[in-house]
A and B are shown apart, each in its own frame.
Chain A
Amino acid sequence: GESVGLHLPTLSVQEGDNSIINCAYSNSASDYFIWYKQESGKGPQFIIDIRSNMDKRQGQRVTVLLNKTVKHLSLQIAATQPGDSAVYFCAEADRGSTLGRLYFGRGTQLTVWP
């Protein structure tokens, strides 16, 4: 299947706390996963990606974890800041797509309280 979905539609955290946003996928052929951030009125902005041959990848304040056994992806944001408030989407591309067509999940609204 092509579905990519998120476990929670909303997440509220206090500034300085760590955030974890989860994503489930069902397509076993997916070999590439991306997290995008979408602020109100803007297009999706790339945060971090991971290939299926990896379990973990770290960026600046963000970490993506991939569990292929249970088809689960998570985004961890360390020391969450008010500027992190946005909708976060996971997206997947499968190796059968010539140009890497992306399938998006529904998104999680992250709200950071001061």
Chain B
Amino acid sequence: EAAVTQSPRNKVAVTGGKVTLSCNQTNNHNNMYWYRQDTGHGLRLIHYSYGAGSTEKGDIPDGYKASRPSQENFSLILELATPSQTSVYFCASGDPGQDSYEQYFGPGTRLTVL
């Protein structure tokens, strides 16, 4: 079964530290996305990618970098983590040509920055 997986599922980091969140998909989708979810804000797009080697800024990219080394993997990098980046992060994959723009979400990573 096609799936999106994320690691780690929970992470506690210190202010100023580097955090890398990883995402893997077996859907063979071209597009991948990183969102953060906060109460009152819903799901907000941080970065996305159209394929290996490409990354694009979403609506709230400040403080985040992304890397897409392969079709299957998409990472979100916090070079200098801050408490305001405490949130739940979701990775998703999608392929407009296959599924009319539906996105499939991973299980989420709960990040706490102290």
The finding on whether chains A and B are genuine partners in a shared complex, rather than unrelated, reads no
A residues with CB within 8 A of B? none
A-binding residues in B (CB < 8 A): none
